[in-house]
Amino acid sequence: MSYREQNKEYLRKVIQLSIPAVLAQISSIIMQYIDAAMVGSLGATATAAIGLVSSTTWLFGGLCVSAATGFSVQVAQLIGAEQEKEARGVLRQAILCTLLFGLIASAVGIGISLRLPVWLGGAEEICQDASRYFLIYACAIPFAQMRHTAGSALQCSGDMKVPSRLNIMMCGLDVIFNSLLIFPTRQVSLFGIYVTVAGAGLGVTGAALGTALAEAVTAVLMLYAVCFRSKQLRLAGRSQVCAAGADAVCGATPGEKFQFQPKCLRTALCLALPMAFEHTVMCGAHIAETRIVAPLGTVSVAANSLAVTAESLCYMPGSGIGTAATTLVGQSIGAGKPDKAKRYANLAVILGAVVMTCTGGLMFLCAPLMFSMLTPDAAIRELGVRVLRIEAFAEPLFAVSIVTTGALRGAGDTLIPSMINLASMWGVRITAASFLAPRLGLIGVWIAMCGELCVRGLLFLVRLLRGKWLEKKIA
């Protein structure tokens, strides 16, 4: 097979694995759009309440992803090396360790929920709703952690379809639960016929409960899929299952007894800690950004929150392609084929940049339509459209940073990408936003964001092309 034909085959594989992940990411964002529209219909105060704590929810979500990644990258490389038994051993430890982490994170979130909106500088009229929303979110963190752990293990084994389908299902459940919990019982016109739709009328609290319930159902199904249905990773049903102790809990089979392996745990920590530190400091930057935006007023806070939601539809394809890159690079490294890993990474980055350039153009053109679906408030819509169009120019290089991060993660290279993200976020975005916000308002904050994403993309491109990440192998 010629080099050109190999590239075509590799690109086909990237696309094949990317499509389910991209569809799942897009469905997740559509869910956020619907959530935002539902909450937005309650007014600017409700939207601002959720937007105020969004940076903190990203922090906890990022920590959950970091914990899961510490184990899932090992799974990818072990499967690439055809060591499926060892991969199942990693999965057993992942389930127990990340569940413990999720419970601890939940307790911390519950503990800070009352004071968090005040610390973030929220206006008095939104603090109560924001606090209640975050409290419910914190209670659901263990479920979110299990969904990430099981889903990322499935993806790194090469199974994109099952986690993607379950994530899409979660979006549908979230919409159903939210519609029942946010709004009161009401009359809805359906093809000219008025139908009574039951509702709890809980407002912002209902939005949090709906999402938490959808998360819980999906986590249970994701765990079932990886533990009982996965061809390569299932922990039960391979033969007679042990019936006592930790072996029973983890579904261990004779010959595959559960035990904590120091090497596995050390490797997980080496992979997860840089990511966790990065998420912590970067979300600290998002929180600092929230504090920069908060004094600009409720309209700016709401427009900022909705613009972030709107923009996420543009970059989710890149995130899905990055997930595919993690799997393909991880398995190639595990199989001892660094040249193949490099080609997968390069092709994935090119694909991501092309796709997000197109979605960025669509975002620029469709910004008014996007905001018309998210809020009826004219002031929020006008400001949101302006900042969203600024961000469209950053999407090609933003794609480079997203997909490259996924590729490097598959090789076990998490420290340098974390350092790049931190330097870019704090050195460029926060510094520039602090300078521009008092002068240009929310427009200045988004100009700073656009510039920072371009800088970040260039730095990641240099890291990718230099190729030192190919020297990493952790399994």
Of the candidates 449, 335, 465, the one whose C-alpha atom is nearest the C-alpha of residue 400 is 465
Of the candidates 458, 470, 358, the one whose C-alpha atom is nearest the C-alpha of residue 411 is 470
Task: Give the pLDDT confidence of 98-113 residue by residue, as tens digits.
Answer: 999 999 999 999 999 9
Distance (Å, whole) CA 38 – CA 111: 28
- Which pLDDT belongs to residue 251? 41
- Which pLDDT belongs to residue 338? 92
E strand or H helix that includes residue 181: helix 161-182
Identify whether the C-beta of residue 364 lies closer than 8 Å to the C-beta of residue 395.
no
Amino acid at 249: V
- Which pLDDT belongs to residue 248? 40
Taking the CA atoms of residue 250, residue 255, residue 410 and residue 171 in that order, the dihedral angle to the nearest 10 degrees is -30
Q: What is the DSSP letter of 235?
A: -
Identify whether the C-beta of residue 271 lies closer than 8 Å to the C-beta of residue 414.
yes
pTM, whole model, 2 decimals?
0.77
Q: Which residues contact 371 (CB under 8 A, 6 or more apart)?
A: 306, 310, 380, 381, 384, 385, 388
- The length of the chain is 475
CB atoms within 10 A of CB 458: 14
pLDDT by residue, tens only, the chain of 475 residues: 677 888 888 888 898 888 887 877 776 666 666 766 787 777 778 888 887 888 788 889 889 989 999 999 999 999 999 899 999 999 999 999 999 999 999 999 999 999 999 988 888 888 999 999 999 999 999 999 999 999 999 998 989 889 989 988 998 898 899 889 998 888 777 777 888 888 888 988 998 999 999 999 999 999 999 999 998 899 865 443 333 444 443 444 445 666 678 889 999 998 889 888 887 877 778 778 888 998 998 899 889 988 987 888 788 889 889 989 999 999 999 998 999 999 999 999 999 999 999 999 999 999 999 898 888 889 999 999 999 999 999 999 999 999 999 999 999 998 899 999 999 999 999 999 999 999 999 999 999 999 999 999 999 999 999 998 987 656 5
Helix axes 298-334, 442-466, angle to 10 degrees: 10
- Which pLDDT belongs to residue 473? 58
Amino acid at 45: T
- Between CA 414 and CA 281, with CA 269 as vertex, the angle to 5 degrees is 55
Within 41-160, residue ranges assigned H as helices are 44-80, 84-112, 116-119, 124-139, 141-156
Distance (Å, whole) CA 435 – CA 280: 23
